[in-house]
Structure 1
Amino acid sequence: MSLDRVVKPKTRRAKRFIEQRGPKINENVKNAMLVKGGNASNLVTQALKDIYALKKPYCVLYKKKNMTRPFEDQTSLEFFSKKSDCSLFIFGSHNKKRPHNLIFGRMFDYHVLDMIELGVEKFVSLKDIKNCKCPEATKPMLIFAGDAFEINEDYRRLKNLFIDFFRGPDITGVRLAGLEHVLHFTAVDGKVFMRSYKVLLKKSGCRTPRIELEEMGPSFDFVMRRTHLASDDLYKLSMKRPKALMAKKKKNISHDTFGTQYGRIHMQKQDLGKLQTRKVKGLKKRRAEKTVDGEQKAKKIKQN
């Protein structure tokens, strides 16, 4: 059965379900699915559980093992993506050639857009660090350090993938007390270090509190292995925004470096002879001037 076939709803409930899955001007929060491979180690299984705890409730964890190889056959992942309505995924596997393996990827139109394979060299779980954790569905602050995220194309795409995966829902305002979770990514010496911190607001003796970071887990030491990146044309197509969301350019309005708004007004040429001025006795016309003006007006009328 083809996944691209057109399904006509028979009930109102089915119609609402299909409309919810269809494209929208303002898309929903991207959901992620965590899939375990056929030979997943205990480290990979626990890593998927910890990432699931960070990503909840916008995440689906598949507990059964799936015998598939994403870099060779992607049909099973695309099937699970359409079934669970997830555009992000992590596939965990383990073998002798590539031990403790995590594949981060994302979908476009329920087809694999790009994938990056990361090997876990060191892992510290959430349960191994005994301290307070952040509440569920806390939106994290993402910090990236390292020149590789700006120079290397693979690391630049990995940074974009991490932002897409952990960013959470779009918000219109920020509350200081709500900044509780920090995810820090560092790229150095061919490795990527991921650390998770809880933000502590402590008394400082003034209005602004003193900020401290306390590691809460999980923490990863990644090494990049294989990559499957989309072409530039396909990547550009996936980034296209609908016209309804594009900001309409306002004519004759400009801003300076300080954000001050300036407007340009177009007016017709003024006739200064008809300009109303202050009535002063010295500016009044005399009787002789009035008679001359009257005679000139009368001549013009006769000529016409």
Structure 2
Amino acid sequence: MTELDRVVKPKTKRAKRFLQNREPKLIENVKTAMIVKGGNTNETVTQALKDIYALKKPYAVMYKKKNITRPFEDQTSLEFFSKKSDCSLFLFGSHNKKRPNNLVFGSLFDYHTLDMIELGIEKFVSLHSIKNSKCPEGTKPMLIFAGDVFETDGDYRRLKSLFIDFFRGPTVPSVRLAGLEHVIHFTALDGKIFMRSYKVLLKKSGCRTPRIELEEMGPSLDFVLRRTHLASDDLYKRALKQPKALKPKKKKNISKDTFGTTYGRIHMQKQDLSKLKTRKMKGLKRRRGEKHSDETQNFSPKKAKVD
């Protein structure tokens, strides 16, 4: 039995509350990310980790000390840190001659590595280099993905899912218009991924609906896809499984289209229209002379046979 699998019995009420908070829930907490520096990093990687941490706050934990580990060879140290800090996402930064300016985005399931995708930084503009106003900490961003490969290629589909989990923020029932002030745009083109961050400006338009402008606030990153370590289909399906209590109950004869419009189907018994009572209108009543005229028009005398 490893140290991670060891069962710990609480001795105090505080420890009991701590362990209860770590137990599985029907509605899980917001996914927290841990940001880890490798044994060898340069200024570009260090600043990129700080800027992504600034976008992710307050749902992120940053380890400032260097950690000599290689995620694609051994994940035990990352799994240990994830259980210690209760994080289900991680970002690992490193730099060497073979793979310069290297970032590894990863997700964990039950404190075990699920997916890992390695990206190389080709161009980087930091958050502080762009002299524009910034969004407040904890702003929920709007995510936009451009590029057919995010839907057609398997590795890019997993990368898109990983980016959504990393940057989506908390789940909220409603958002006011003024709260929509941060946009993160991902573009996949010619084997590269371009990440841009914008602040939404609401300008006066002369009517009730404001005019929208996007102002780049940083960071700006150009990635190239390197190595991937993806979970098997069975494990990935198990990680996506929802408890039965959260699944909506099916309602008979009710359906929804792609736009969310609800349609209902009504089943009625067969009606005898001969017994259907309609409203008697004055204009539909026959007059006295109409009955006689109808009979004369329908009557046609037969020709007499002549011998």
Normalised TM-score (structure 1) = 0.85
**AA of the residue aligned to 2:246:** L
Matched, 1:91 2:92: yes
| Distance (whole Å) between structure 1 residues aligned to residue 203 and residue 128 of structure 2 | 25
Equivalent runs, 1:19-98 vs 2, <5 Å = 19-98=20-99
Cα drift, residue 257 of structure 1:
7.9
**SS of structure 1 residue aligned to 2:80:** helix
| Distance (whole Å) between structure 2 residues aligned to residue 52 and residue 156 of structure 1 | 23
Aligned to 2:290: none
Cα drift, residue 131 of structure 1:
1.1
| Distance (whole Å) between structure 1 residues aligned to residue 186 and residue 258 of structure 2 | 32
- Write out per-residue CA displacement over residues 43-93 of structure 1, whole angstroms, 9 at most, x where no aligned residue: 100001001100000000000000000000000000000000000000000
| Distance (whole Å) between structure 2 residues aligned to residue 260 and residue 194 of structure 1 | 37
Aligned to 1:295: none
**SS of structure 1 residue aligned to 2:221:** strand
- The answer to whether the 8 A contact 1:35-1:89 is kept is yes
Aligned to 2:101: 100
**SS of structure 1 residue aligned to 2:160:** helix
**SS of structure 2 residue aligned to 1:14:** helix
Cα drift, residue 253 of structure 1:
3.7
**AA of the residue aligned to 2:223:** F
Cα drift, residue 262 of structure 1:
2.5
Aligned to 1:244: 245
Q: CA 1:96/1:27 → structure 2, altered by over 3 Å: closer, same or farther?
A: same
**AA of the residue aligned to 2:264:** Y
- The answer to whether the 8 A contact 2:82-2:111 is kept is yes
**AA of the residue aligned to 1:66:** N
- Write out per-residue CA displacement over residues 182-238 of structure 1, whole angstroms, 9 at most, x where no aligned residue: 000000000000000000000111111110000000010000000000011100000
- The answer to whether the 8 A contact 1:125-1:219 is kept is yes
- The answer to whether the 8 A contact 1:119-1:222 is kept is yes
Equivalent runs, 1:1-304 vs 2, <5 Å = 1-254=2-255, 259-262=261-264, 264=266
| Distance (whole Å) between structure 2 residues aligned to residue 88 and residue 183 of structure 1 | 18
- Write out per-residue CA displacement over residues 124-162 of structure 1, whole angstroms, 9 at most, x where no aligned residue: 001100110000000000000011111111111101100
| Distance (whole Å) between structure 1 residues aligned to residue 147 and residue 69 of structure 2 | 34
Normalised TM-score (structure 2) = 0.84
Q: CA 1:263/1:191 → structure 2, altered by over 3 Å: closer, same or farther?
A: same
| Distance (whole Å) between structure 2 residues aligned to residue 240 and residue 132 of structure 1 | 41
| Distance (whole Å) between structure 2 residues aligned to residue 207 and residue 102 of structure 1 | 44
- The answer to whether the 8 A contact 1:253-1:264 is kept is no
**AA of the residue aligned to 1:209:** P
Instruction: Please tell me the root mean square deviation across aligned C-alpha atoms, in Å.
Output: 1.7
**AA of the residue aligned to 1:180:** E
Among all aligned residue pairs of Structure 1 and Structure 2, give the percentage whose two residues are the same amino acid.
78
- The answer to whether the 8 A contact 1:90-1:104 is kept is yes
Aligned to 2:289: none
**SS of structure 1 residue aligned to 2:158:** helix
**SS of structure 2 residue aligned to 1:4:** coil
Count how many residue pairs are aligned between Structure 1 and Structure 2.
269
| Distance (whole Å) between structure 2 residues aligned to residue 106 and residue 194 of structure 1 | 19
**AA of the residue aligned to 2:83:** K
- The answer to whether the 8 A contact 1:104-1:116 is kept is yes
Aligned to 1:285: none
- The answer to whether the 8 A contact 2:37-2:92 is kept is yes
Structure 1 gaps of 5+ residues are 270-304
| Distance (whole Å) between structure 2 residues aligned to residue 266 and residue 6 of structure 1 | 60
Cα drift, residue 255 of structure 1:
5.2
**AA of the residue aligned to 1:6:** V
**AA of the residue aligned to 1:138:** T
Cα drift, residue 266 of structure 1:
8.1
Structure 2 gaps of 5+ residues are 271-307
- The answer to whether the 8 A contact 2:254-2:262 is kept is no
- The answer to whether the 8 A contact 1:183-1:196 is kept is yes
